[in-house]
Amino acid sequence: MRKRLLTMLVLGLILVPFAVSPAAAKTLKIGSMSPLTGPYAADGNDIKNGTLTAIEIFEEEGGIPGFDKIELYPQDTACDPKQAVAAANKLLNLEVVGVIGAYCSSSTIPASETLAEEDIPMITPASTNEQVTERGLPYMFRMCGRDDDQSKVAVQFIQESLNADSIFIVDDKTTYSQGLADGVEKECEKAGIKVLGRDHVNQGDKDFSALLTKAKSTGADVFYMSMQNHATGSLMTIQAKRLGLDAQILTQDANMHPNFIKVAKDAAEGVMVTFGYVDESTPEYKKYAKKFSAKYGEIGAYGTYAYDAATVLLKAIKESGSTDPEDIKAEIMKMDFQGASKMVKFRPNGDSGSNYIVFVIKNGEYVKYWDPAKGKL
């Protein structure tokens, strides 16, 4: 018994020298939260690398007066709310002045509550659920689009371009996908499009034959697929084509991933995807793309958003001359410039607006197809 207690005491003492040593003075500390491991690791690493690119470009252009260097502390959330909260606590421990993250809406929401306890500004480059900015947290901002905008664009597309009048909606019961599917359902009802069926699958399911047979039997014009993971989306697409589903498959931004086409192959031809529009001809984008692809390779969409988010944060600190959250917020609200992904201008609740367009998969590639303002491209 005593031997055991001795062992336990020693082990307990091992816990103590955990405290991170204080960093050298005059370093500006920023944190990033994204899934660095697990199925979303590609996008998560894009977010980390986008932030690093922003820091690099900022330091090259003069850095921030009063600070010798800017340092990033990337944290792994693995799209798990528990880990996200732990990561937020770790960043608070490290005394960062701002956080870029997270990726999954289900991680961003609880982590932001933790960060709000210490009034640390948080800018998310990828969480699209409306709740992220609707809760009234004073220092929560969003760089990417919102799901209610995405669903509006999808339904507008269905009405104007596809001229369809019936739809079958499926989601996989995650915060993000279900929220989006609900939005589409509501907008369809408002627009007079008949929702012939609304069903769900669970994450990790593989067999959708029952569901797709049901969809086929309703004879809907459009099949809206709202998935968290493009792996599920690609499986569903394969089975849909095999079963002979004639409906036009429309899906959302999670299925905008090269692996989707790799897995679904020819079944993916003709599938349409809503995604945020990034104008690749702007000088901002070119500057970012050059730096990013030199160091990190292929550019992923979320890297661009993270780059803009980090630039916004650093700019706000520089312009206001302080790291106080109120000053940062005041500066962010004044911003109005062309970023790498879009025009950066924030609304009072922290959103920066969405610019969703529709892509189509043609010859194994994503091609821009339709814009809500201009129509077919």
Partner 1 sequence: MIRECKKVLKPFVLGLLWLLALLWPLLGIHPDGTLSFANAFQVWLYIAAVAFVCVFLYVLNKSGNLDFAARPAAVLRDRVSEAAGRIPSKAWIGLLLGFALIYPQITGRYEQDVAINVLIYVCLGLGLNIVIGLAGMLDLGYIAFYGVGAYSYALLNTNFGISFWFSLPFAAVLAAIAGCIIGYPTLRMRGDYLAIVTLGFGEIVRLILNNWMTLTNGPNGILGIDPPSFYFLSFDGGLSFEHLYLKKLHYLYYIALFLAVFTIIAVRRLNFSRIGRAWESIREDETAAELMGVNTFLLKLLAYAMGAVFAGLAGAFFSARMRFVSPESFTFLESALVLAMVVLGGMASIPGIILGVMALIVLPEVFREFELYRMLAVGGAMTVMMVFKPRGLIPAKRVGTRSEEKEG
Partner 2 sequence: MEYFIQQLINGITLGGVYALIALGYTMVYGVIQLINFAHGEFFAAGGYMGVILLAYMTGAGYLETHPFLCIAGAGVLTMAYTAFLAMGVERMAYKPLRYASRLSLLVSALGMSIFLSNGLMLTQGVFDKPYPSELTHGGFEIGPISVGYLQLIIVGMTAVLLVGLNILVFKTRIGMAMRATAQDKIMSSLVSISSNRIIALTFAIGAGLAACAGMMTGFYYGSVRYDMGFVPGIKAFAAAVLGGIGNITGAMLGGVIIGMVEVFGAAYISGQYKDVFAFIIMIAVLYFKPTGIMGENVDDTRV
Chain contacts with partner 2 (rule: CB under 8 A): 38-39, 41, 170, 173, 199-202, 204, 206-211, 213-214, 217, 231, 234-235, 238-239, 241-244, 259, 262-267
Give the tokens for residue 118.
């210490």
Among residues 156, 161, 178, 218, the one that binds partner 1 under rule CB under 8 A:
178
5 binds, among partner 1, partner 2, none (CB under 5 to 8 A by kind): partner 1
Chosen residue from 128, 150, 174, 355 binding partner 1 by CB under 8 A: 174
Q: What mask, x for binding partner 1 by CB under 8 A, covers residues 59 to 98?
A: -----------------x---xxx--xx--xx-xx-----
By CB under 8 A, is residue 18 in contact with partner 1? yes
Query: Could you give the 3-state DSSP secondary structure of residue 218?
Result: helix
199 binds, among partner 2, partner 1, none (CB under 5 to 8 A by kind): partner 2
135 binds, among partner 2, partner 1, none (CB under 5 to 8 A by kind): partner 1
DSSP state of 158: I
Q: Give the angle subtended at the CA of 183 by the CAs of 180 and 187, to the nearest 5°.
A: 140
Nearest to 307 by CA among 145, 142, 122, 100: 100
Fill in the amino acid letter for 332: I
Q: How far is CA 249 from CA 158, 196, 212, in A?
A: 11, 15, 12
The two tokens of residue 264 are 């679904």
263 or 360, CB closer to partner 2?
263
How far apart are the C-alpha atoms of 216 and 247, rounded to whole Å? 8
Minimal distance in Å, beta carbon 377 to partner 2? Answer: 29
- Distance from C-alpha of 32 to C-alpha of 313, rounded to nearest angstrom: 12
227 and 256 Cβ atoms separated by less than 8 Å: no
Give φ, ψ of 368 to 5 degrees: -65, 135
Q: Which of 34, 175, 311, 355 binds partner 1 (CB under 8 A)?
A: 175
Residues that bind partner 1 (CB under 8 A): 1-9, 11-12, 14-16, 18-20, 36-37, 76, 80-82, 85-86, 89-90, 92-93, 106, 109-110, 113, 117, 129, 131, 135, 173-175, 178-179, 200, 202
